[in-house]
Structure 1
Amino acid sequence: MSSKIALDDLNIDILCHILLIVHDVSKHSLLSMICANRTLYDITLPIFHRSCVMDYSPDLQRDTIARMESWLENGSKMLSFIRHITVKGIPPYWRLRRDESIQAPDTTKWTSLVQVLSRLSHLASFTFAYSEQMPLVLLDALHHHHPSSHLHIRNWTRISPDTPFGDPAEDALANSPCLRSLHGHFITGTGPVADFRFSAFDRIAKLSPNLEAISRTSRSAGGCVMYVRPMDQMYAQNTERKKFEVDAPLRKCIKSLQMDHIDGKALKELSSYMQLDQLTSLTNIRPSSSSDFLCLAGTDSAYHLPALKQLDVRLLTKSHGLDQIEEMVDAFCIFLASCGPLESLSIVLKTSQSWKPILSVILDHHSHSLRTLSLHQVESSKGDSMRICLTLDQLTDICGSCPQLTNLALDIDRTLEGKSECAYYTVLCQFTNLRELTIHMDLGIAFLASPSKEQQEGDRRTKLAFYPEADENFAMEVWKEVSKRGDGEFAGLRELVLCLGEQNRQIRNGYPAPWVIDEQSRRQWARVRKSERDDRPREVDVNIRGGRPRTRLRV
């Protein structure tokens, strides 16, 4: 005769561990737990409030401050539950324009948050993702009340780009023992004002004693105006920029590095304060056309990356010479072979380049460790420089050589008959452990770029007329093709993403060409995902980017 076990008889530690997993996956699900009974209420409430978000956006700042003031006035016990705080606000690119007049930030709005920090007892992390410089009052509060907490700076910014050397807030951040990650994204080319953001950012990275993750990326603001500075002004700015240099950087163990523009000189500078043999994640890398970064990291043992697990690289040289492009690919193959066994690899290759040499290195050195693989070429507007997709044989080799592969992204160019795509779908069904699949499909923009000849215009209209849009029916047709195995059983695929057209094409200065404008108006993104509900295993969510309603369909 079986005896019933009451909830009170369960091990509290195990129950808390389960609730922590639920908190990380779906925090809102904890609301149902809180309302279930008194026992679950007492256990779940601290977990529900362990992560707290303070939204300082203009329309929510007053409510956020009022909420904190009520905690302080009423002596709310939830203050003892908080372990992680995130401060967020307007993204920085809404205001980081050099032609705007930058005013000194108002520090009075942080008074309530400083008081909350003084009342917390076990704060583990503090993430600052607001669109201002990290205020000294918050940094001092962290150092005084939570010296062992981890500080994460998202969207790092300065009072203004041309602020000279010696900013007290930047010096305090650079020497903060709490700082663990530093993220900065800079928009360049928006005015003639001096720009010391890169120099100030690098100075903080070099001086920080406990920094573990660095992300420094940038993009051009575009436009048709170019600013040229007089020689005397350039000399004065270079003199000021040298003041940010650090004579004795503090060596540290950086685990994650994200940097879009990098060359051999930058790698040597990084090695002055980073232990390169401890780096595990290198993302968003775009090596220089000279390939000196790849050559140095691939051939010089002092700059090898043996601990690397995640690599994300864009091999997009500006040169049109075939020799220089092949030289970069050869250098990358040597670098890739020198890396330790990778678990995640993402490559964006210059259009019209064969995947054969790179794929050979991948299968020889990383096939048994890879869990995520992305191989993509940007769709070209030139009919004589079309992108090269993986062949069916190459895709079959990946299937047979990468047993642990769970995430895959690849290019499939569409055809009028649709037979080529179906052949790829048949091979994709053979990936037994695949859980997430991304397919980059073309828009046929090569037919849009040169519509002057009658034959080209006819081909353009014919091809575009047969190219279906990514509506729910189209997404479901592809889903059914790639999620079924030969025996009629459903594969383990849980998510399919379709990218029709280039989603993140980099635009240079000047007015965009007509085909660029057309691509931006026609590109689409679709996602098909299996329902997370156990009682509805055959239902999927279909989400189409572009303002269309989200629908739920049955497989």
Structure 2
Amino acid sequence: MATKFTKAGLCRLPLEILQQVAGYLAEVYRPSLCAFSLTSRSCHQASTLFIFRQIHLNVRTREELQLDVESLATALSRTDSVRHVHSLALEGFLDLKKPRNEKGSWRDVDPLGWWHSLETNEIFPDDDQVPSGGVEYFVYDESVIKQDSEEDLAWAPIINFIRTLPSLQKLIYNCPNQFPPSLLDTLHARHPQCQLHHLTFRMRTLLWSTPYPYEMALATSPCLYKIKVICTGRDSEADDDFNQEAVMELVAGLAPNLKEATIVNFNPGRGGRSLRRRAKWQGLPAFAPGSVGSLTSLSLIGSGPFFWTPGYVQTWAKFTDFGSLRRLTIAGPGARGIDGEVMGYISQNHTFPQLRALSVCLERQDASVERTDFTANAVPFFTAFEPLEELSVSGPLEPEILDAILHRHGRTLKKLIMRPEEVESPGFTGRDRKEIPMTFTKEHVLQIQAECPALEDLGVRVKRMKSSAAEVEIYRSLAKIRRLKTLFLILDCSDWRVHRDSSYDPSFDGEDRDKLESGYMKGHLREALVNCAVDETLARSIWGTIREEGRGLESLRLWTTGAGHFGKGQNNMADGYLNHLSRSWLIERVPRDDVEILHVKELCRSEREARDASGQGARRPKETEPRYGIAGFCILNHGLALLFQMMVAAVSSGEATKN
């Protein structure tokens, strides 16, 4: 039962108590903090400490930047909250050419041309994004920003604002614009202890005989605490990119307080047009060979030349002490993973005694490598680490690997994300692959529940089975993980048995056994349509089934994926319809104990609507969209049956392929 306070009762509480209440609301549910601050003057005074602790500014044009900073400064002055600002995050793109009030586009925040997928942003918010192959990239495409230049002076509102903040501890810079020299001077003069998180770091003068002095001043700044750099072996102009080598030397001691580094490696468009040997890296001035840094967080993701070999790992070990790492990302979801050779090298040659969080992407070494060989390398790799608190694994998985992970880390795990994936294409060998991605059964979930008593955050792959009783039992078994607060379910609508299991004989009868032009049976299309049609009603029903017994769940993320995948690449039959129906959801519970209030959001909705508007989605009226619950789904429902007949007719006539 929630405790109720009168307005007078709240006002009589000491400020320290009210601040404890405000701090709890800020951590658990921020909207309640804003409501609490409006209760009384005393509550408002206690809340400002947390409301203004972290400030985010979206940078657009210089005129809008001036207005935004003025509004923010006025709000801070009115509430006497300037002293409460500890963190300032700058995002967006400062456009010096766009007229005021002109509407922007995605290029405003992405001028280099990366297409930041909404699917990546919303479904995998914690993953670093890897630029897609084929995008042109130029490392040395801009002149270096100069002190007091027009571009430098455009940041004056931010620089003047930072000078007024007495307690600034962290500055997060996530703008593609070059970091302004005047801002760096201000940090050094006014906030020498402030941590600079530079998430768009890049050196542009590494091909000069001596790098530009300002670039070196920024790279070796005592404020520099975290960097993220996108790099490649050779860019689209056939220039060698030495940013990764430069970062290694910064890590090793040139940047004295650098503790976190993210390297995103990729192959740009036209990057391989030159066959000449890559030039030798000359090194940064004042670097002392043999020095070793002590990063606490290292992320190495992406793909590219010389990437993910034992030699690559060995090179990084020469520049930073792996024994100091507390967080490590090896490869990453959607990027090139590490194979058995690399796993074996790491487990035999390196130790990570301080590591608490590991994120790793795996891949099979070759189409000819058997499951047993892959597993034989993966098991000792995961057991070589000290017990972890957080573990995220994507790529090929086997039950034996899961057993090893739970046995070694289960007692200490608070977060576990398992994203089983396999390669669909046969690859260069032309050999037909037989691997089928592992899916989690009720028994696997119960195993996790038994061996992970502290687990609060879980992500697993669940096979969609037309809302059958077996599928419902998986959801119910998740409720048995008593401390679970956050759940990510990959709703797998694929059926790789069609191409990869020679003994598979679908239990279709009647019309479902009829062949379509694509070569698949109508039953395959029917099941794909049924499984991927995850609407809000079904999403709420899945939530209700899990919450029926597991009352601690606070957040559920559903990613509907795999529709039309049968183990040999995505089939184009009814692609538009499948894309339109395959919806993903985020359900969050407002933390109250007297009534359950849910916030339900369709993820990637704007992306889906844009796809539909362009003609790539299903062309059908919204009122024909099926509505069903997990217990009441029935394919014979008149509306859905009619829809299915329309889709099959379209596919049979070739219309869906055109759409």
Q: What TM-score comes out, normalization by structure 2 length?
A: 0.69
What is the match of residue 296 of structure 2? 255
Contact 2:205–2:211 (8 Å) recurs in 1: no
Find the aligned partners of 2:574 and 2:382 in 1 and give their Cα distance: 33
Find the aligned partners of 1:74 and 1:338 in 2 and give their Cα distance: 52
Contact 1:343–1:371 (8 Å) recurs in 2: yes
Contact 2:420–2:461 (8 Å) recurs in 1: yes
Contact 1:192–1:229 (8 Å) recurs in 2: no
Find the aligned partners of 1:111 and 1:162 in 2 and give their Cα distance: 31
What is the match of residue 282 of structure 2? 242
Q: Larger relative contact order (C-alpha < 8 A, sep ≥ 6)?
A: 2
CA change 1:30–1:374 in 2 (3 A) is: closer
What is the match of residue 467 of structure 1? 531
Instruction: Tell me if 1:87 matches 2:90.
Output: yes
What is the match of residue 312 of structure 2? 266
Q: Deviations over 1:421-476 (max 9, x none)?
A: 12322322322222222221223375999998776243432322432511011112
CA change 1:345–1:470 in 2 (3 A) is: same
Find the aligned partners of 2:480 and 2:75 in 1 and give their Cα distance: 60
Alignment of 1:502-513 (within 5 A): none
Contact 1:149–1:178 (8 Å) recurs in 2: yes
Contact 2:11–2:43 (8 Å) recurs in 1: no
Contact 1:341–1:365 (8 Å) recurs in 2: yes
What is the match of residue 499 of structure 1? 559
Alignment of 1:384-533 (within 5 A): 384-416=434-466, 418-444=468-494, 446=496, 456-485=520-549, 491-501=551-561, 514=572, 523-533=582-592
Query: Tell me, what secondary structure is at the counterpart of 1:408?
Result: strand
Q: Where in structure 1 do 4 or more consecutive aligned residues deviate above 6 Å?
A: 70-75, 160-164, 187-190, 447-454, 515-521
Find the aligned partners of 2:274 and 2:360 in 1 and give their Cα distance: 33
Contact 2:170–2:196 (8 Å) recurs in 1: yes
Query: Tell me, what secondary structure is at the counterpart of 2:360?
Result: strand
Alignment of 1:110-149 (within 5 A): 110-149=155-194
Which amino acid in structure 2 is aligned with residue 276 of structure 1?
F
What is the match of residue 378 of structure 2? 332
What is the match of residue 48 of structure 1? 51
Instruction: Tell me if 1:374 matches 2:432.
Output: no
CA change 1:533–1:155 in 2 (3 A) is: farther
Instruction: From 137, 140, 145, give the equivalent of 1:98.
Output: 137
What is the match of residue 347 of structure 2? 298
Q: Deviations over 1:465-519 (max 9, x none)?
A: 432511011112222322223xxxx53222222211169x9xxxxx998589767
Find the aligned partners of 1:72 and 1:455 in 2 and give their Cα distance: 65
Instruction: Tell me if 1:12 matches 2:32.
Output: no
Q: Deviations over 1:175-219 (max 9, x none)?
A: 221221112245888723413332333333332211221111234
Q: CA deviation at 1:542?
A: 2.3
Query: Tell me, what secondary structure is at the counterpart of 2:398?
Result: coil
Alignment of 1:178-193 (within 5 A): 178-186=223-231, 191-193=236-238
Instruction: Tell me if 1:65 matches 2:66.
Output: yes
Find the aligned partners of 2:300 and 2:221 in 1 and give their Cα distance: 22
Query: Tell me, what secondary structure is at the counterpart of 1:467?
Result: helix
CA change 1:177–1:472 in 2 (3 A) is: same
Which amino acid in structure 1 is aligned with residue 262 of structure 2?
S
Which amino acid in structure 1 is aligned with residue 602 of structure 2?
I
Find the aligned partners of 1:381 and 1:290 in 2 and give their Cα distance: 17
Q: What TM-score comes out, normalization by structure 1 length?
A: 0.80
Identity, % of aligned positions: 18
Contact 2:246–2:283 (8 Å) recurs in 1: no
Query: Tell me, what secondary structure is at the counterpart of 1:248?
Result: coil
Instruction: Tell me if 1:228 matches 2:273.
Output: yes
Which amino acid in structure 1 is aligned with residue 22 of structure 2?
L
Find the aligned partners of 2:73 and 2:533 in 1 and give their Cα distance: 54
Query: Tell me, what secondary structure is at the counterpart of 1:57?
Result: strand
Contact 2:232–2:265 (8 Å) recurs in 1: yes
With 48-57 and 514-523 compared, the bigger mean Cα shift is at 514-523
CA change 1:468–1:314 in 2 (3 A) is: closer
Find the aligned partners of 1:320 and 1:56 in 2 and give their Cα distance: 47
Unaligned runs of 5+ in 2: 1-6, 94-107, 114-135, 146-150, 302-306, 426-432, 501-514, 610-628, 631-659
Q: CA deviation at 1:44?
A: 3.7
RMSD: 4.1
Find the aligned partners of 2:73 and 2:457 in 1 and give their Cα distance: 47
Find the aligned partners of 1:111 and 1:412 in 2 and give their Cα distance: 52
Query: Tell me, what secondary structure is at the counterpart of 1:18?
Result: helix
Find the aligned partners of 1:266 and 1:420 in 2 and give their Cα distance: 45
Unaligned runs of 5+ in 1: 506-510
Q: CA deviation at 1:524?
A: 2.9
Instruction: From 358, 366, 369, give the equivalent of 1:319.
Output: 366
Contact 1:133–1:158 (8 Å) recurs in 2: no
Query: Tell me, what secondary structure is at the counterpart of 2:520?
Result: helix
Contact 1:310–1:344 (8 Å) recurs in 2: yes
Find the aligned partners of 1:152 and 1:464 in 2 and give their Cα distance: 44
With 457-466 and 174-183 compared, the bigger mean Cα shift is at 457-466
Find the aligned partners of 1:380 and 1:71 in 2 and give their Cα distance: 50
What is the match of residue 211 of structure 2? 166
Instruction: From 595, 598, 606, give the equivalent of 1:540.
Output: 598
CA change 1:247–1:481 in 2 (3 A) is: same
Which amino acid in structure 2 is aligned with residue 242 of structure 1?
Q
What is the match of residue 246 of structure 2? 200
Find the aligned partners of 1:50 and 1:306 in 2 and give their Cα distance: 34
